[in-house]
Structure 1
Amino acid sequence: MWTSTPCLNLSSDDFRNLARFMDIVLYVLLRVNNQTQVHSVHLSFSGKETSVFYKSLMNDDLLRNVQQLTFTFTSFPSKTTFPDLSHFNCKSLNHLTMAGCSNSCMISLKSSFSLPSLTTLYLDFINLYDHNIDKDTGLFCKCANLMTLTIRTCKMMGSKGFSISHPRLSNLTLVDVNSNGNVVNVDAPQLKNLTVINCIGEHLISAPSLGFLHYNAYTPSLLFTDGLPSLEKANLCIYKPFMGDAPKIVCLLRQLHTVKFLTLNLGIIELLSSYMTVKSKKPSPFTNLKSLNGLPESAFG
């Protein structure tokens, strides 16, 4: 029966040791591919990684029909580096998930991978390294059709900051990302939806096609370098803002001046009400605004 299923979910927790799990995974993939087309594979690991296993697994013959692939690293020694993925070029794969388990157990990803059909990439609890050579050598540059990128609870590292540069990227979500004091540069001319929640560090965004922004932070640190002529909707929440944040919040709001539907948390509204009473009042920059809503912080998630 298992040779006819198109979806496989295998966990090392079900085997007496990791070596046995690795043998079974390779055996199953070889047998299933001779019987049916496998569309989805979810592999859950715990233990010390083995580069030989990864190299075997990244063989396109094993994954030639797989469209969705998920790696979940449930327990690993600290400072574990995922093997070189530069030769991983599964042509059928359109959805890839790589997830660690905690801040103390994070897999490091340093090499790019060539996945021509990949449209969705989800990374969670992964250390990401940007070698900062140029925008054509980044982690995601060889995924020509990537449209949706989600990075959660990750650390972004690079000697000159971290770059996310992609000509076709349409949806970008950054949640609980720490750039270690470096600037995160986003260059995505086709980006339509941007979500940034509880991220540490400055973000320079070039996204002239952006239509939707959702931004939650403790202090504003977004700068849009090319304007936002297409912005339709923005949700902005600054947690417990104080008077020192007011100039930065005003600066951010002025960048969003083309928005039509704007939602602010009540803390921003209360702060700006006090701030504007002691500053010279200027005309509202929101010439296209159709709706303004105020919500409590809890409503922003």
Structure 2
Amino acid sequence: MTSPWSDLDRPPLRATALQRALVGPDRMWTSVRVVRETGSTNSDLVAQAAAGEAAAGAVLVAEEQTAGRGRLDRSWSAPARSGIFLSMLLRPGDLGVPRERWSWLPLLTGVAAASALSRTAEVGVRLKWPNDLLVTVDGTERKLGGILAELAGDAVVVGIGLNVSLRAEELPVPTAGSLLLAGAGVIDRETLLRALLRTFADLYQDWCSVAGHSEASGLRPAYAAQCATIGRPVRVELPGGRELLGEAVGVDGDGRLVVRAADGVEQAVAAGDVVHVRPGAEPLRG
């Protein structure tokens, strides 16, 4: 079996140090567990929630995922210790957030991740609706990571996968990127993980304090400011094989993407595969 120290550029995470830095009586996080390998941190945490084995604020981090999942049943894979692969167990209902506002959680997670990474890694990170994080590599927009939220009874499990130190030859598809390839000033995973979880905790607690109201919490304008999709020509591939062409003009109070067609009619999209249409360039798929 390959040693965790076989690639000195990718040292293992120090679980005890992370627990000490993030968990405490006055903090949101109740546990931070690091496993060497698993199929999917989301699947594991959903199962633990169903069995009553995980409390709100539990975080599960994997050094490697062998069956990571994204939206629309897409797979997510990366070499061991080359990224951040984590899931968080949240119970917003216990904090007064009605279920109809839980759809904002993937977008809130995106704002937290983009903010923390832009600040800490010293590289621009933007959002692609609804759940992708983007960086620029060699002048081209690339996918840095993704977010997946799943219901687990009265809880929500939110997973994040981020490419940190992937080299060009390790990219799973040509449209993928990493912090390393984007020229990040910091790629230490513990530093990035601490910043991400602390930023998320601040935003989540602010959001919960106003019952998940996207305007009162400042979440909707914060998302709009960081979203690369807004203001772009898009093609939205809708369920049932339909397509919607137009300009993405904003997100509404429910977190849906608002697209204005050529005839001026606006439509809010709750689910769909968004393609950024860039003249003269290959469209970026989520």
Bin for the TM-score computed over the shorter chain: under 0.3
Scaled by the length of structure 1, what TM-score is found?
0.27
* Largest Rg, 1 or 2: 1
Q: Which of structures 1 and 2 has the larger relative contact order (alpha carbons within 8 angstroms, sep 6+)?
A: 2
Decide which structure has greater helix share.
2
